[in-house]
Copies of this chain bind each other. A is one copy, B any other.
Amino acid sequence: MSPDSHRAAVLDFDRAQRIGLHEAVFCSHKTPLQIEHILTEFHRRDTPCLLTRIDADKVAALAVDHRESLDFDPLSRTAFAPGPFPDIDLSGVAIVSGGTSDAAVCLEAARSLQFHGIRTELFQDVGVTGLWRLMDRIEEIRRYPVVIAVAGMEGALFSVLGGLVASVVIAVPTSVGYGVSEGGGLALNSALGSCAPGVLSVNIDNGYGAACAAARVVNGR
């Protein structure tokens, strides 16, 4: 066990290439020392980095060279130095589900899209506790510009998927579960609280709503 716990961050420098978004550093619970170490790593690789939830006190506590390299805005509590962006070209709608119990909600979404004249492809039962199931299909899923992700229980699918595709990810939490996951509130919160950047959510079991949102994306293309 090392005392250098502020050096522990494992940074995701290839995120922009993988999902079209750069890594952002959520600073609320990090010490200035941890933030400095992270900035150094980004600088070393000449990669842009966005800091969020960083207040003026924390910026003031950074070493002067780090502080001066940043474009800081106190009201939004953001700081960054900008960089290059990805070129992405995609088309279509995928519906991905965690388990067979989610079939009814998947079909509500699929049929609602069909009604609006939009083609869908179903990728069912690829829940992340048997990770190979999702990894076997991920290249196919990645090709769709919109992915509707349907899952109940603890909804871990949303976070894993959000970190693997550059598509618009619309989570539909389902009421499949019992005990702490009864009623779908846990899956919903897992979608909203996901660490994966830019995962969106609709109400529990709302396959229709997800389809409408997907149609808004497709129609606006």
Contacts and interface: CB of A to CB of B under 8 A. Distances in A.
Interface of A: 1-2, 5-6, 8-10, 12, 15, 19-22, 24, 26, 28-30, 34, 38, 48, 50, 52-53, 73, 75-78, 80, 82, 85-86, 88, 90, 97-101, 103-108, 110-112, 114-117, 120-122, 124-131, 133, 145-146, 152-156, 158-160, 162-164, 166-170, 173, 175-186, 188-217, 219-221
B163 A129 contact: yes
Given A9-B100, A10-B133, 13 more contacts: A1-B110, A10-B124, A75-B107, A85-B117, A130-B163, A154-B191, A156-B158, A178-B206, A192-B203, A198-B210, A198-B213, A199-B213, A217-B217
A103 B6 CA distance: 8
Contact of A195 (B34, B82, B127, B173): B127
Given A52-B108, A130-B15, A124 B8 contact: yes
A189 B184 CA distance: 12
27 contacts: A1-B120, A5-B124, A8-B122, A15-B130, A28-B101, A48-B115, A50-B208, A75-B104, A75-B107, A85-B116, A128-B160, A129-B159, A131-B164, A153-B193, A154-B156, A156-B190, A166-B216, A167-B216, A178-B203, A179-B192, A179-B205, A180-B189, A186-B190, A189-B189, A197-B209, A200-B213, A201-B202
Contacts of A98: 195
**Among the interface residues A28, A111, A153, which one has the most CB atoms of the partner chain B within 10 A?**
A111
